[in-house]
Structure 1
Amino acid sequence: MPTAKGLFRLLPNELILQIAGLLPITDVLSLKSATYSSIRILQCRILPSGYLKSTGPFVNVDDLMDVMAKHGAAVSGSRALAYFLPGSAVNTSDWDIYVPPISTSVMAVKNALEHSGVTFESCLQRAARQLQRGSVFLTANQMISIAHEANHLKRAWLSQEQTVVDAVRRRYPALRNIGRYTRSNGSIGWMGDISPITIDANGLVSTMPRYEEGYPSTMAARVLYGSARKGGRTVPVQLVVGSLDPRKPSIAEPLYSTIFRSIFSFYASHVQCILTKHVAFHMYYMLAAQKTAYTWRVLQALQDKTEAAIQKYKQRGFQFTTAPRGADWNLRSAQDRYSCLIELEADGQCYPTQSQIRDLRWEHKGGSIRLIPQSTTVEARAELLKFGIISGQ
């Protein structure tokens, strides 16, 4: 490819990589094809591991990606979007790592992130830090976590930590002795009704509506908050654990047992993408490339958070609209011309598998988006229905 000073491939690798880092991923793939894969440095832009090494705050990236692929975890949200469309994230954007709700997988990915330079903060530490800013909102699960940590904390408490613990114990005295509710398997037994609270800087408590009860089972509702250092800055890192309800057995589409259960719950189409060792996939790439996104229906309790996210992306040049509301649903697939699916070579077992993602189909209409079950899932449901196994999804 000629340039003003000769062949493009004769430019220094660092300069080629800088140029590639400014291009949408499909342009990089086209450049690779046009040069017959002779510019090997382009692979560093195409590989998700190369992207994490160049832009992320992580060390030991290769080991991290191996663990993520083995346990079905992936990068999603704005940082994944910026892989496809550079400039979509900013320096302060979170790195969101999604992982299926399997304890061994969560711990494996958490440990790998810690080995890669991420430090996680407990619910108590996070609440104390937020209280320094004026007030903190705590869910029932967070209060149980705080009470449990307070019962086992060996070091001296910070003043804000003491304020948080005292406020939680005053509002729910049963949490003073949480040990009685701890089962031998490490879980916490039923403890009665606990509603969310807000604690102000003076330690005063206000009880809030129980929004959590209205969360659909498809939502990713559990987050481990952490951070890492890059270039003298602290970068937020979040490990998001998908939510499944074991009390509702169902013959579900296999992808609904993976992080895609969370991806389908996102508020808008531009961030419905994943990055992992063996796959880079964007469900609405062509739309996002036009700086446009469809918004999906969310619960009233999440409206404020959704609106804040939309305003953030509007400042980055995105516009938001509603998908067509015709009588028929719009059918989509991972291999149609509106998506972007990049399959990469990888050793060992990787999840979700490339074939699962390749066969992914879904449909949307207006503010709704839903997964289309594969024929094998439909057949399995019909057969097992005869034996009393009823699927509600």
Structure 2
Amino acid sequence: MDCSCEKAEGDQLPAEHAVSPDETCKSRALKAATLEKLVETLPMAFADNDFTYINTFLSTYRAFASTSTVLELLLDRYGNLEISGSEERGSQNSPGSSTVLRTAIASILQAWLDQCAEDFQEPPDYVCLLKVLSYLKKNMPGSDPEKRAQNLLEQFQKEELENDDAFHSLSPCNLDEEEELEISGAQEFSLFQEELVAEQLTYMDATLFKNVVPHHCLGCIWSRRDKQENKHLAQSIRATISQFNAVTNCVVSTVLDSRELKTRQRAKTLEKWIRIARQCRILNNFSSLKAIVSALQSTSVYRLKKTWACVPKDTMLMFEELSEIFSDCDNFATSRELLLKGVTQGTVPYLGTFLTDLVMLDTALQDYLEGGLINFEKRRRVSGTLTVLWSLVADALC
């Protein structure tokens, strides 16, 4: 195991500090280790202000361990920390003291609860969350981490009751009405203002993106989604993809809506979608922009040569410029550059780029090295992609 450390200068943080995904005061160059060693290193990393290591572990551990296993290793090792006589006499801040370790574990747990709350959403028993709460009540009573755990438990229990009530209140009549509205909406598409359509698409995409859980994008999770037993995996990603597919299908259906449409009428629909795509670009909504462009480039639409010939040249030039954004040249360099350089509040990325990167990383690099050691260098590279995604989610939440 390689466990060398690279240190960078940074201010000393207060003892009660909770780990932030943006902090990179120091980086622990741990390349491979057993699960036990990786967990054991967490409080040591906190004591050294090595928040990069902690965030990398929290964002990727699901690839090689379960929440209950990690929690068991962490709390069983540090669950009974007693204050020694020397600490009572004034050496509480010495490295390895019970006080320092309790603070480190509490802060790590709070970071875990803040960044990955869904790991503890296990109705109806909430075994892992109750284990955390029990530890914090015993070792850090009245602390912010304990309050966070208690609030999270109450939140989950409330959501569980609300979900039960919502399930029982559903009626087939309501679903039929919604379906009918979607059908009539397609027929009235020509009446909608382009700016309004783009704004509504951006609102829906942004709402879904704010709920994206970054670790749901992990290649090891996402690549298993199609197996029957994994239908529950990555729900936040499935929701964004369902919206993307809905937009794509809407574009195709409005263009091919009726055989009775004349060529020029169909060309007007194409032109309208291109202008909506342009508005999405202005709003930095790369998700719906990609969906519209993909739909217009689909075989069923793109083969309409006579229809495309009726689209004005300036609109066709606009379409070509928008299509160029998602060119696969140099690994989609244009879309990546536009996304990262132009990020503002409300920016909605095309999630497929991140999913592809993470699946490729997962496929290209080994999970375990010689001796059965976990390849933590792979997790560090995966975490780098997740950090970019995390920052986009954070901007969207502002």
**Taking structure 2 as the reference length, what is the TM-score of the superposition?**
0.24
Comparing both structures, which one devotes a greater share of its residues to helix? 2
Comparing both structures, which one devotes a greater share of its residues to strand? 1
**Taking structure 1 as the reference length, what is the TM-score of the superposition?**
0.25
